Amino acid sequence: MVGLDLSIVIAVWAGLGNTSALIAAIISSAFTAYLYSISTLRISVERDSYSVGRATIEKKYLGDIRVLTAEEFRFLRGPGINPGAFHAFRFWIKRGLKVEIKDSRDPTPYWLVSSKSPEKLREALQS
């Protein structure tokens, strides 16, 4: 994104001058910061609940928690995707967790969540 911002600023500078380039730099940087903030996946593990983004589930409904290798994670978010599952992943994070859901009232079979530290996340969910 920074490269795109820089190319926009250079194009504006070449065509309109220094003041316009400064304004373009401020606007494009603010927009990049905004995009970064809304694309961040917020994961929270509390004593009794697990939250990913805006979704929350009580820990008593969590079943098997598996740390996935990069290949397993790529398969589950690609050819092996289950449209009924809850998906919260970022394409630039190569690993994650598959958390089975054991609530008979919930049609969601599992949560597929990307994480840079899936082992730590699993430990937090199991405590």
At 4-34, the pLDDT tens digits run 888 999 999 999 999 999 999 999 999 999 9
pLDDT of 1 over the 80 cut: no
Q: Which of the pair, 11 or 37, is modelled with greater confidence?
A: 11
DSSP H helices, 1-127, are 2-16, 18-39, 70-76, 118-126
Position 91, amino acid: F
pLDDT of residue 92: 87
Q: Is the pLDDT at 39 greater than 90, yes or no?
A: no
88: Cα separation from own chain's centroid: 6
Domain borders along the chain are 2-39, 43-126
Per-position b or e across 90-116, b if 16+ CB within 10 A of its CB: eeeeebbbbbebeeeeeeeebbbbbbe
Residue 44's φ and ψ, nearest 5 degrees, are -135, 130
pTM for the full predicted model: 0.73
User: What CA–CA distance (Å, rounded) separates 106 from 124?
Assistant: 23
Residue 49 contacts residue 72 (beta carbons within 8 Å): no
Name the region of 91 (left: φ>0; alpha: ψ -120 to 50; beta: rest).
Answer: alpha
Parallel, antiparallel or unpaired: strands 110-114 and 86-88? parallel
